Structure 1
Amino acid sequence: MQSDKQLYEIFEVNPQWLFELTGRTSPGPCKFVSITLKAIERRSDGMLLPDLASKPITIAELQMYADSDVYQRTVIEMAMVQAEHPGRQVDGFIIFASRSLDSRTEPWTKVVASYYLDELLEQLSQHAPEHPLVAVFQPLMQTDRTILERDVARYYNQITEGVADERQRTRLHDVFVDWLLQRFSDRGMKGIEQMLIGQLPDLRDTQAGKELIALGEQKGREQGLEQGLEQGREQGELIGQICILQEFLGLEPTDARALAELSEEALAVRLADLRVQLQRR
């Protein structure tokens, strides 16, 4: 599977995820940038550049395939970066897809730290199971397609729930779907969409869903409806499904409170229209 571009996109949008994943001390706000090392005319796709000049620059290599030269290349990049930033401390580390890819090239293992993505994600899933990185990497790391297909909607929703920033959330969704398309190349985009929409988890299990349901319940109380709570709960679930489909279809979202002013019948019509749009894609 192609992964280099997607890995860069994940950490470019939020460099702090690299520190959360590896457990390394964060230098504070920083950028994950691609640079060209002029002295050797080589491009480095993973430099962590802190906002504070007193903090170390870090070269981060993300290695998903066997490469016996990765340690030497990382050390050379570290030396070139330090030459271009005199007086700055420069660190380096490599994240291998798994331990089996680590060539352990001496003496550079004393200079460059190494990590293993499968082990890091397992550790992250133990102490922070709802972390969005646990979800977004599943198409890359889960070897059983049946298990992946069964849980794919839950992972998509975990990204939605776990990332408040819209740009970061959109980036992770895009990477997640891109990797799904590679894993399920026989399904095509429509098949992936059906896989996600058809298996979306119950709204009662998500924080956003609970808030939408609570909004519907409140409207039921305000309107003094008989069985207001139950009707409001159903209205909240319709609102939730509408919001999810609008986001998935790339449509401008309708404010949930505006939707709450509509009748249950009107909401059902809107939801049916969105499902038709999905079928036509």
Structure 2
Amino acid sequence: MKTDKELYKIFSAYPNYLFKCANIRKKTTYTMQSVTLKEFERRTDGLLAPKDPKAPTYITEFQAQKDANIYHRLAMEMASYAMMNQDCDIRGILVFLHKGLDPKTNPWHYLSKSKDKFLKIVYLDEFLKELEKKQPNHPMVAVFKPLFEKDLNALKNNAYHWYQKIAKSRLPKDAKEHIQKAFISWLTARLRDLPYQEVINMIASLPDFETTQFYKDIVEVGEKRGEKKGEKSIIVKEINRFEKMKKKGDINEILFKKLCDPLQKELDKLTAEIDTIMNKPQ
């Protein structure tokens, strides 16, 4: 699944959620964007820039798989940004999906234990479990369910309920839309092994389904299927016509092959494309 991408969508749409995860009490508003650090020609997962220039700036990395160098990389990014912005109070946030992904590399990991909190470590699964105990209806709990819920039946049965929690939340409109898209993206990724029609029927029960990207993708797939099947039908008719002409003696075997071989190759190509479209949930 596109975990890092969806995490960025959620936290850039509503940075308050990231600060909540990291247990940081901010004193100003923040915007989040991905920036390229020229020292390394590398993009950060997220830079949290404060409205108040005196407030700390945070560089964030999201980690959904094991990476022994994640601490070194974040430290390099923080140092690079500090070199370009020497009056900046730069700090870091590392978000791991779970504790098992954290290599706890020192000396950088040690910074997370300092009183100054130059580095905050988040284990997302643990944070969400605690949040659900205290605020079970929190939209942040709901949006991550498709990512963390292990029981596929529970996921199918509760998807509508969880989606409603996001839809009825007091989130700003733009932030809500981005978070809903992340929910749909993770949900459809988790359901890829189910029959295609079952996925459509389940997702279609969600409110405002017609406005989701998944719905638009389904429409596009339907159009592609129709187009490809139409092309295939034309080619099959042509091949059948030439076969009838050969049987009647109007064309010989050599001419038949010259006429039909290119058509057969195109037919095989179209058949493969149709199979790909039919078997690939969006």
Within 5 Å, give how 1:167-206 maps onto structure 2: 167-187=174-194, 191-198=198-205
What is the match of residue 267 of structure 1? none
Any unmatched runs of 5+ in structure 1?
Answer: 201-243, 252-276
How far did 1:100 drift? Answer: 0.7
What CA distance in whole angstroms lies between the structure 2 residues aligned with 1:74 and 1:18?
17
Letter aligned with residue 65 of structure 1: Q
What CA distance in whole angstroms lies between the structure 1 residues aligned with 2:15 and 2:186?
20
**Would the aligned equivalents of 1:181 and 1:188 in 2 still touch at CA under 8 Å?**
no
Give aligned-pair identity as a percent.
Answer: 31
What CA distance in whole angstroms lies between the structure 2 residues aligned with 1:57 and 1:121?
25
Any unmatched runs of 5+ in structure 2?
Answer: 112-118, 213-218, 224-282
2:65 matches 1:65: yes
How far did 1:180 drift? Answer: 1.0
Structure number, greater radius of gyration: 2
> Secondary structure, in 3 states, of the residue corresponding to 2:35?
strand
2:132 matches 1:115: no
What CA distance in whole angstroms lies between the structure 2 residues aligned with 1:72 and 1:161?
41
Within 5 Å, give how 1:230-245 maps onto structure 2: 244=207
2:215 matches 1:249: no
What is the match of residue 141 of structure 2? 134
What CA distance in whole angstroms lies between the structure 1 residues aligned with 2:200 and 2:127?
29
Letter aligned with residue 46 of structure 2: G
Deviations 1:15-56 (A, max 9, x none): 111012222112421111111111221111211111110000
What CA distance in whole angstroms lies between the structure 1 residues aligned with 2:75 and 2:47?
13
What CA distance in whole angstroms lies between the structure 1 residues aligned with 2:33 and 2:191?
31
How far did 1:141 drift? Answer: 0.6
User: Which stretch shows the higher mean deviation, 69-78 or 107-116?
Assistant: 107-116
What is the match of residue 105 of structure 1? 105
How far did 1:189 drift? Answer: 7.0
How far did 1:163 drift? Answer: 3.8
**Would the aligned equivalents of 1:153 and 1:197 in 2 still touch at CA under 8 Å?**
no
Deviations 1:210-259 (A, max 9, x none): xxxxxxxxxxxxxxxxxxxxxxxxxxxxxxxxxx4xx22129xxxxxxxx
**Would the aligned equivalents of 1:181 and 1:189 in 2 still touch at CA under 8 Å?**
no
Alignment length (residue pairs):
208
More RCO (CA 8 Å, sep 6+): 2
Judged with a 3 Å threshold, the aligned counterparts in structure 2 of structure 1 residues 188 and 3 are, in CA distance, closer, same or farther, namely farther
What CA distance in whole angstroms lies between the structure 1 residues aligned with 2:106 and 2:62?
19
Letter aligned with residue 211 of structure 2: G
Q: TM-score, normalised by structure 2?
A: 0.69
What is the match of residue 239 of structure 2? none
Within 5 Å, give how 1:24-173 maps onto structure 2: 24-111=24-111, 112-173=119-180
> Secondary structure, in 3 states, of the residue corresponding to 1:249?
helix
Q: TM-score, normalised by structure 1?
A: 0.69
Aligned Cα root-mean-square deviation (Å): 2.2
